[in-house]
Amino acid sequence: MHGTELGMSSELSARDRLIVALDVPDPRDAEAMIETLGDTVTFYKIGYQLAFAHGTPLAAALASAGKRVFLDMKLHDIGNTVARGVESVARMGVTFLTVHAYPQTMRAAVAARAGSPLRLLAVTVLTSYDDADLSEAGYCVGAKQLVAERAAQARAIGLDGIVCSGEEAAALRQIAGPEMSLVTPGIRPTGIGHDDQKRVVTPARAIAAGADYLVVGRPILEARDPRGAAEAIVDEIAAAI
Ligand code: C5P
């Protein structure tokens, strides 16, 4: 990852490596969860559900309040439209923004965030896609190869990180090099249900595989004691780094 204000990954604290996905229906639910989690959580992810329910002002407010925000908007459009969108996101003060790993989209995003602290994460191939889904969508390449090719392009174009599963992290670290951040969802602490995630890894395994940041939603949001659940994950990360 970039050795700027986010620090090299080896300097990141266990706490700052946990990103809680605010997958809740509206900003009031999000604010209640943020209040419950208090100082335990420093980094939040806002995706479609909350962003399209008046959640973008909350992203800016969290950033102003000193929390880090990952806006998971997975942008992809013509270059000019991507660039204008990235400029608007950069003004919100968020830390991470996702874009699909198409070269035009990535180049436009990298140029547009120049001079801002916004860091761009590439989505290579959605983890819900297997080889058959790619074939149906017109691709003549398998998922594993396409992930590798797009990760290499993301690095060459100057993206700051890649969203990947815990299982992909070790292989992608070879392609991404030491500078890029690997951001990993699909995390389940031992003994917690898998929900609809098919390929899950524990926090400790994801860190051991080279992940810099872990994205966790339901194991914290649906816990009887969300703060305790988050603290336990921070402890597991701390033991693994
Ligand atoms: O609740 P859970 O911990 O499964 O939430 C994971 C979060 O990470 C969700 O916000 C989901 O959209 C996101 N995500 C994922 N798998 C990916 C990419 C993102 O689960 N491949």
Considering the candidates 45, 67, 74, 198, report the single residue annotated as catalytic: 74
Of the pLDDT bands very low, low, confident and very high (cuts 50, 70, 90), residue 7 is very low
- Per-residue pLDDT averaged across 208-229, rounded? 97
- Per-residue pLDDT averaged across 65-82, rounded? 98
- Round to whole Å and give the CA distance between 182 and 201: 14
Which among 229, 166, 175 is positioned nearest to 201, based on CA atoms?
166
Q: What is the pLDDT of residues 114-170, one digit of tens each?
A: 999 999 999 999 988 899 999 999 999 999 999 999 999 999 999 999 999 998 999
How far away, in angstroms, is 49 Cα from ligand 1 center?
A: 12
Tokens 């996702």 correspond to 98
Report, in angstroms and rounded to the nearest whole number, the Rg of the chain calculated over CA atoms.
17
Contact 149, 159 (CB under 8 A): no
Active site residue 144: no
DSSP reduced 3-state for 85? helix
Q: What is the pLDDT of residues 26-61, one digit of tens each?
A: 999 999 999 999 999 999 999 999 999 999 999 999
Residue type, 169: A
* Cβ 185 under 6 angstroms from ligand 1: yes
Which among 126, 68, 121, 123 is positioned nearest to 92, based on CA atoms?
68
Helix axes 143-157, 103-112, angle to 10 degrees: 30
* Cβ 23 under 6 angstroms from ligand 1: yes
How far away, in angstroms, is 187 Cα from ligand 1 center?
A: 9
Q: How many beta carbons lie within 10 A of that of residue 77, not counting itself?
A: 16
- pTM of the prediction? 0.94
Asked if the model's pLDDT at residue 94 lies above 90, the reply is yes
Q: What is the pLDDT of residues 157-204, one digit of tens each?
A: 999 999 999 989 999 999 999 999 999 999 999 877 778 777 789 999
